[in-house]
Amino acid sequence: MSDPQRVAVVGATGYAGFELAQLLLRHPKIQKPTFYLRESSAHVKCLTELFPRLRGWGEAPCKTFSVDAVAASGAGMVFLATPHESSLETVPQLLNAGLRVVDLSGAFRFHDPKTFAHWYKLPEPPKNLAEEAVYGLPELYADQLPGARLVANPGCYPTSVILGLRPLVKSGWIALERGIVADCKSGASGAGKEPKRELHFVEVDENLRAYGLFSHRHTPEVTDHTGIADEDIVFTTHLLPVARGILSTMYVWFAEPHTAEEVESLYRVFYADRPMMRIWPAGKLPELQHVAYTNFCDIGFALDPTGRRLVVVSCLDNLGKGAAGQAVQNMNLMMGIEEGTGLR
Amino acid sequence: MSDPQRVAVVGATGYAGFELAQLLLRHPKIQKPTFYLRESSAHVKCLTELFPRLRGWGEAPCKTFSVDAVAASGAGMVFLATPHESSLETVPQLLNAGLRVVDLSGAFRFHDPKTFAHWYKLPEPPKNLAEEAVYGLPELYADQLPGARLVANPGCYPTSVILGLRPLVKSGWIALERGIVADCKSGASGAGKEPKRELHFVEVDENLRAYGLFSHRHTPEVTDHTGIADEDIVFTTHLLPVARGILSTMYVWFAEPHTAEEVESLYRVFYADRPMMRIWPAGKLPELQHVAYTNFCDIGFALDPTGRRLVVVSCLDNLGKGAAGQAVQNMNLMMGIEEGTGLR
Amino acid sequence: MSDPQRVAVVGATGYAGFELAQLLLRHPKIQKPTFYLRESSAHVKCLTELFPRLRGWGEAPCKTFSVDAVAASGAGMVFLATPHESSLETVPQLLNAGLRVVDLSGAFRFHDPKTFAHWYKLPEPPKNLAEEAVYGLPELYADQLPGARLVANPGCYPTSVILGLRPLVKSGWIALERGIVADCKSGASGAGKEPKRELHFVEVDENLRAYGLFSHRHTPEVTDHTGIADEDIVFTTHLLPVARGILSTMYVWFAEPHTAEEVESLYRVFYADRPMMRIWPAGKLPELQHVAYTNFCDIGFALDPTGRRLVVVSCLDNLGKGAAGQAVQNMNLMMGIEEGTGLR
Amino acid sequence: MSDPQRVAVVGATGYAGFELAQLLLRHPKIQKPTFYLRESSAHVKCLTELFPRLRGWGEAPCKTFSVDAVAASGAGMVFLATPHESSLETVPQLLNAGLRVVDLSGAFRFHDPKTFAHWYKLPEPPKNLAEEAVYGLPELYADQLPGARLVANPGCYPTSVILGLRPLVKSGWIALERGIVADCKSGASGAGKEPKRELHFVEVDENLRAYGLFSHRHTPEVTDHTGIADEDIVFTTHLLPVARGILSTMYVWFAEPHTAEEVESLYRVFYADRPMMRIWPAGKLPELQHVAYTNFCDIGFALDPTGRRLVVVSCLDNLGKGAAGQAVQNMNLMMGIEEGTGLR
């Protein structure tokens, strides 16, 4: 019989997968996880062979992945740190085998299967599962997590943008007709571990470049969960010469003037019970270094003297709150454990 | 008697001053400059003592600065790489002594003396000189440079933003009422050489932070020379973990749809005879590395499929086109030398 | 009455102090520490004011330092993350007040008070305390820690060099007459937080420089604890463009040929019971990234085909095993807690 | 008929090739070169398509490479920035076609063809050409360059080590029986442009690693041209998180004491007429930043108070003096042009 507190991890070979392994191996409330790798990594018997950093932390046994193997392992929950195509295929099988799934890919992030197919140029996910999947952003959807069978772990950029903009959109203060800008900057681990020309050290070091303008796959997550129409927002992404972290600078015009106190209060009330949010006092701004290697999302802002133009800065670690940390936060809520357990 | 092709440099101890020294020492059309340092650096006899990189390039003799010493040197033109206060004081004296001046400080960048006093918290410059000074952005004001006595070399951020936005503003295509955003990112050499807590390697490395929101001194240069009202633009600055370079991402909404061809053509026509501008074909974007250690300003853009939302990316080297290189470009035009001489 | 498991921290304003704060705040076996700052920081009521990263981790109350205040606090042990001069003065007072002390400064690292005075150009420490102090390198002196009143926490470079060389020296395999080289490279946090010209981001970024040749203060620690005479070793230090980490490359000639198996076995046996040492299999080498943000010291080596020339690579985090982590490891052993508690 | 001042470049697609292109396009004494690319790059008509940085510098036409095409072009000299295998094959053909060749690969760097075959695991080069080839290190072999048909451009590490050690070896001061250490550190551009896991930004950033111990292909260049036997030197290489530059720290024991004046004088006399060498005064050391983007090799040293232990620091830009700049320096001497032309 399966143990609900026992977890399996599939595909922990990339940066987010490694981060997830580190977090789960240290988590105080769950047993040591089992790691499942693809056939091509069948020679790997312990995760420390792939990640020498992990040596000395205890065992991290690896097995070859199959749905049957995971189902037979006694795990009640499985994390998928696998490519989109792969998650598309295995999620239904794992659910059928009675497992709960936290999927770090993009496959089940959209309620409308067509959205995924359009932006990812891949087949549509099953309609019923796309509709059932909970978008795993606990600050907005915590109440849906305890009962969830399938959680789609959000993208890193959308996490930072949605957490920065959602309270403002909900407030009704924004002059939406003026448009909103989200200018996002990410470290290179967000681009994955696969060697590519544009990720060579020499191409990223001492450089900055914008990419994916008007075509980034994270766009529909942003519009779906902020509630801003696509034509009213411009969302851009830049590659920073740092390993970890996302800083999003967001620009909003107010219809009527507001005070800094009102803005700060808006965020504090909205995120009152959310332990992973840190709201900065008016006039102070978070920086990448404040959140690197943490699961926090920090939000600060600057308001112009007329109270009409607002700049919001949202920071997080793309591998932490933007991926693996958030997956663990989702797991905690799914299991009824305190949200920030193992994440401080 | 003074030689119009002979130049002096005052204050070449910071990053921009050093860059200027390098450019002038290699310039094919002028004599080797003389360098003037403050009393406190009177022991320095050759610039190579301050900058070992310069060894082997030939002599770079240093003298103690005084207006009389510069006037007696036979130089016809002087560069000031000195603090704002210092330029405020010496510019009138140097002009009186018959020298032409290129001032790299902010002291004479505004036609209205009150603008300077307000943003820099310093005394007003003399009204007649503030009005006489040419804003040394050759791509906009080349025709005023040959006869100029006093050239105020622009700030690094404004150079990148003005060159990116001015053609658009002039076109009349922008829906100004929607507002414009200029999200700028700069390397740390732009913050000066003075040791400060926030410029310590450990504080900048693997970090990104926004600063100076709604209060950056470069703001009035941007509004003056783009022609955009302060309330219609948000201009922000970020500190990047790189030594050199500025990348500005600018966001504009069009009143009516336009095509990428129209946008590209707008820039190409506007900068048709300007050798230091490189316009990128639609869909390709410049990066910091393309312009580092050059005097080019690169401009690229992305237009959304509806032809309404435009993102412009403008890149330059903050010590090159953003400071010392631009000063040399101004000198070339003031002396009747081809604009890009010594800058390729 | 004092509680032996209760600790105070004096001077947690630098990089090592901050690291120490993070480790102690998360340590599972001790109470939350109290932080004592100098008069000049009397306005700081919580460490999060100095280190915004710490927000959300719980309280970290700060008080103004005095020996009496610490003595009255009920703490049984105190960490000093203070300047050498300061530790020289307060260590005797704190011991007199009945506290046990872990001193992160260099003041009590040498049994001969003259060694300190000579290398640090400061007064000699009291002879009896210099002789009593335990050099806090648990891998060599674990048995002296449980009863220690005063522990001198080692320097970061010496920790990496001593741990790499001591097993070899003890083996008697080295041809000492050929000389030994320790070429060490450190990240910039090792140079302290004080702003200095040579630590400006622009001066460290994309740079590497050797410094302190034949004059580095860590030299006598290396010779004292490896047992190598000063004239038989050259110990050099370089500043790397990274925030954290030390990698020491050490060169040794053997008197007689040895095999890789013998060398690996030598290290494995020497460090058999030491949980913070990770010995790498022959032919594989540790890297800075493997140890950053950990308390491990990783050791690997390469032996030439003749079995005569050996290169040893020793890596650690200069703020972890090289400073704050080692201090906590010492505390654990002093308190009878498992050595690696709170450090994995 | 061929023009001796006209040059062709084959294979300018990597980092050294690009650097070479930049230098030749700006060289004041030669015509604009023609660039020849492999079949697979036949679509590239201008080098600016591969390297956007080059835009605005003038034309850099590209053609498809064949020996016949180069021979028919009228060029008298050809640079090969091609893989070792490729140079092995084309060098004899190009020489037969009457061209002079500067080869940046390792194929002709060793007088004994077996040395190349052994270290590079490739076929032996023709014996007569291996013997005829001049090792293109002008500071040692300038007199052989004017008449050379084939110049083998040295490796980057050997250039820094040989220039640092050769004067000492020749002096006879070294106690060779004690052994010599050359601990070298290089930026990532030295590892080539091909995407590889270990060159991904995230793997190099904030990291340092030793590699190629006792097996680096540059070893036999070091021993051949310093005159030190393989068993008396340990040569190691490390990968730095910087784009450009090599810093080699070399350790030597003297048989008899010497003074700093003697050491400085030894270097000054040895390199008296060599414009690309910069010897530092005793006690001051060169840094990577001093030589980045230059063709200089800087040498400094520290001598211990007993005059017996010497540390030499040698710095250069691995793409400049370590590759493309040195190739141009060789070209200058082959053509009878002043050695440093186009390199300052």
| A116 falls within a domain | yes
ipTM of the complex, rounded to two decimals: 0.96
Asked whether the beta carbons of A152 and A112 are under 8 A apart, the reply is: no
Q: Could you tell me if C299 and C331 lie in one domain?
A: no
Q: How far is C10 from chain D (nearest CA, A)?
A: 30
For residue C8, is pLDDT > 80? yes
- Do the Cβ atoms of C244 and D292 come within 8 Å? no
Active-site residue, selected from the candidate residues B62, B156, B184, B297: B156
**Out of B114-123, D18-27, D57-66, least confident range:** D57-66
Pairwise pLDDT comparison (D43 vs A320), residue with the higher score: A320
- Do the Cβ atoms of A52 and C290 come within 8 Å? yes
A-B C-beta contacts closer than 8 Å: 134
Tell me the chain D residues in contact with residue C308 when contact means C-beta distances shorter than 8 Å.
231
Nearest to B202 among C197, C206, C243 (CB): C243
- Do the Cβ atoms of D344 and B286 come within 8 Å? no
Order across the sheet with B297-303: list the strands. Answer: B209-211, B233-239, B180-186, B246-253, B309-316, B297-303, B277-279
Q: Could you tell me if A105 and A167 lie in one domain?
A: no
Q: Could you tell me if A262 and A326 lie in one domain?
A: no
Over residues D156-178, the pLDDT tens digits come to 999 999 999 999 999 999 999 99
What is this structure's pTM? 0.97
Tell me the chain B residues in contact with residue A306 when contact means C-beta distances shorter than 8 Å.
231
**Reported confidence tier of residue C59, pLDDT bands at 50, 70, 90:** confident
For residue C52, is pLDDT > 70? yes
- Do the Cβ atoms of A53 and C290 come within 8 Å? yes
Over residues B307-338, the pLDDT tens digits come to 999 999 999 999 999 999 999 999 999 999 99
Pairwise pLDDT comparison (A202 vs C12), residue with the higher score: A202
Q: Could you tell me if A211 and A314 lie in one domain?
A: yes
Chains with 3 or more CB pairs under 8 A to chain B: A, C, D
Q: pLDDT value at position C155?
A: 98
Asked whether the beta carbons of A228 and B264 are under 8 A apart, the reply is: no
Q: How far is the CA of A242 from the CAs of A161, A187, A188, A239, in angstroms?
A: 19, 5, 6, 9
Over residues D68-97, the pLDDT tens digits come to 999 999 999 999 999 999 999 999 999 999
Q: How far is C82 from chain B (nearest CA, A)?
A: 19
For residue B1, is pLDDT > 70? no
Rounded-to-5 percentages of helix, strand, coil across chain B: 40, 25, 40
- Do the Cβ atoms of C209 and D285 come within 8 Å? yes
Phi, psi dihedrals of residue D58, rounded to the nearest 5°: 110, 180
CA distance B232 to A150: 45
Active-site residue, selected from the candidate residues C62, C156, C184, C315: C156
Q: pLDDT value at position A1?
A: 59
Q: Could you tell me if C256 and C119 lie in one domain?
A: no
Q: Could you tell me if B136 and B32 lie in one domain?
A: yes
Measure the CA dihedral B189/B195/B201/B203, to 10°: -100
Phi, psi dihedrals of residue A180, rounded to the nearest 5°: -125, 145
The domain that contains B114 carries what CATH number? 3.40.50.720
Q: pLDDT value at position A42?
A: 84
Known catalytic residue at B156? yes
Please write down the HEC assignment for all residues of B151-205: EECCCHHHHHHHHHHHHHHHHCCECHHHCEEEEEEECHHHHCCCCCHHHEHHHHC
Over residues D253-265, the pLDDT tens digits come to 999 999 999 999 9
For residue D277, is pLDDT > 70? yes
Q: Which residues of chain A have pLDDT under 50?
A: none
Tell me the chain C residues in contact with residue D183 when contact means C-beta distances shorter than 8 Å.
181, 183, 249, 251
- C-alpha closest to that of A86 among A45, A51, A132, A40: A40
Tell me the chain A residues in contact with residue C296 when contact means C-beta distances shorter than 8 Å.
55-56
Tell me the chain A residues in contact with residue B187 when contact means C-beta distances shorter than 8 Å.
206
| B340 falls within a domain | no
As for how many domains chain C has, the answer is 2
- Do the Cβ atoms of C185 and D181 come within 8 Å? no
For residue C58, is pLDDT > 90? no
Mean pLDDT estimate for chain C = 96
Q: pLDDT value at position C1?
A: 59
Q: Could you tell me if B133 and B170 lie in one domain?
A: no
CA distance B176 to B169: 9
| B344 falls within a domain | no
Structure tokens at D45: 């008509």
- Do the Cβ atoms of A188 and D201 come within 8 Å? yes
The domain that contains B227 carries what CATH number? 3.30.360.10
Tell me the residue range of the domain where D52 lies: 3-154+322-335
Nearest to B290 among D52, D294, D344 (CB): D52
Q: Could you tell me if D133 and D49 lie in one domain?
A: yes
Mean pLDDT of C68-78: 95
Mean pLDDT of D144-164: 98
| B36 falls within a domain | yes
A-C C-beta contacts closer than 8 Å: 40
Residue D196: closest CA among chain A residues belongs to which residue? A195
Q: pLDDT value at position D1?
A: 59
- Do the Cβ atoms of A52 and C296 come within 8 Å? no
Active-site residue, selected from the candidate residues D46, D62, D156, D315: D156
| A168 falls within a domain | yes
For residue C248, is pLDDT > 70? yes
Q: How far is B191 from chain A (nearest CA, A)?
A: 16
Q: Could you tell me if D38 and D103 lie in one domain?
A: yes
For residue C305, is pLDDT > 70? yes
Asked whether the beta carbons of B167 and B193 are under 8 A apart, the reply is: no
Q: Which residues of B touch D (CB under 8 A)?
A: 26, 52-53, 55-57, 205-206, 275-276, 278, 280, 284, 286, 289-291, 293-294, 296, 344
- C-alpha closest to that of A132 among A91, A184, A182: A91
Over residues D307-344, the pLDDT tens digits come to 999 999 999 999 999 999 999 999 999 999 999 999 98
Q: Could you tell me if B179 and B276 lie in one domain?
A: yes
Q: Could you tell me if B52 and B182 lie in one domain?
A: no
Mean pLDDT estimate for chain D = 96
**Reported confidence tier of residue B21, pLDDT bands at 50, 70, 90:** very high
DSSP-derived secondary structure letter, D249 = E
Q: How far is C282 from chain A (nearest CA, A)?
A: 14
Task: Sort strands C309-316 and C297-303 into parallel, antiparallel or unpaired.
Answer: antiparallel
Cβ neighbours, 10 Å, residue B1:
4
Q: Could you tell me if A190 and A143 lie in one domain?
A: no
Q: How far is B115 from chain A (nearest CA, A)?
A: 17
Tell me the chain A residues in contact with residue B231 when contact means C-beta distances shorter than 8 Å.
306, 308-309
| B43 falls within a domain | yes
Task: Sort strands D309-316 and D246-253 into parallel, antiparallel or unpaired.
Answer: antiparallel
Chains with 3 or more CB pairs under 8 A to chain C: A, B, D
Over residues B136-190, the pLDDT tens digits come to 999 999 999 999 999 999 999 999 999 999 999 999 999 999 999 999 999 999 9
Tell me the chain B residues in contact with residue C209 when contact means C-beta distances shorter than 8 Å.
none
**Out of B78-87, C38-47, C110-119, C209-218, least confident range:** C38-47
| A290 falls within a domain | yes
Q: pLDDT value at position A39?
A: 84
Residue C197: closest CA among chain B residues belongs to which residue? B195
Asked whether the beta carbons of C156 and C189 are under 8 A apart, the reply is: no
| A344 falls within a domain | no
